[in-house]
Homo-oligomer: A and B are copies of this chain.
Amino acid sequence: MLEELKKQVLEANLLLPKYNLVKFTWGNVSGIDREKNLVVIKPSGVPYEELTIEKLVVVDFDGNIVEGDYRPSSDTATHIELYKKYKDMGGIVHTHSTWATIWAQACMEMPALGTTHADHFYGNIPCTRKLTQEEIEGDYEKNTGKVIIETLGDGEVMAVPGILVSCHAPFTWGKNPRDAVVNSVVLEETCNMAYHTVTLNKGIESLDQYLLDKHYYRKHGKNAYYGQK
């Protein structure tokens, strides 16, 4: 079942080591079938070089394993919370990539400081509040999803397709698993640039709205003119 989606999820997971976003097994990608409300996700703790289609796990919205011999990623409940809330998400990525994790550990929103950022993300990358002791000791992964949702709110979430979880690491998403990984690569590079920009010029501020608009809409939406038709 879900053969095409599994193939996409496998390929997207294998992009994580290719783009140097993970060490060991520090990351996972999932994808969703919106008709069946089933999520395909990486098995927990399996090295990327040993990952195959057969080892992927299919879970439903209650986290039950529908198919697969392996335990799903320990972060599965976070993915499910996000998929349930935001219908446009087709793929989700969680990594501990170096630069994005640095901003998450610093518990700081990552500002939009240049057009590299604006080409891909329509505004600052938010950072969640810290989870409370109760949230951590309770249903932790589910509560991580809830705190992300609390931060993102009810609106559109595909224009800023990433978030930093305080003291933890980033999540990104996209219309499909591959797109979500691309957003992880861009987040990592923009976090790298932003670290060095703010340490070079301490007074720097986020982009003016009109420059953010210009670059974002050059690449997105009906008036986009970047790339081929």
Which A residues fall within an 8 A CB radius of B?
Answer: 23-26, 43-46, 70-71, 74, 96, 98-99, 101-108, 113-116, 130-131, 133, 136-137, 140, 167-169, 182, 185-186, 189, 192-201, 204, 207-208, 210-211, 214, 218, 225-229
Contacts and interface: CB of A to CB of B under 8 A. Distances in A.
A133 to B, nearest CB: 5
Please tell me how many copies of the chain the complex holds. 4
A26 to B, nearest CB: 7
A228 B71 contact: yes
B23 A189 contact: yes
A98 B169 contact: no
B26 A210 contact: no
B228 A193 contact: no
Contacts of A23: 185-186, 189
A195 B102 CA distance: 9
Given A105-B113, A182-B24, A98 B228 contact: no
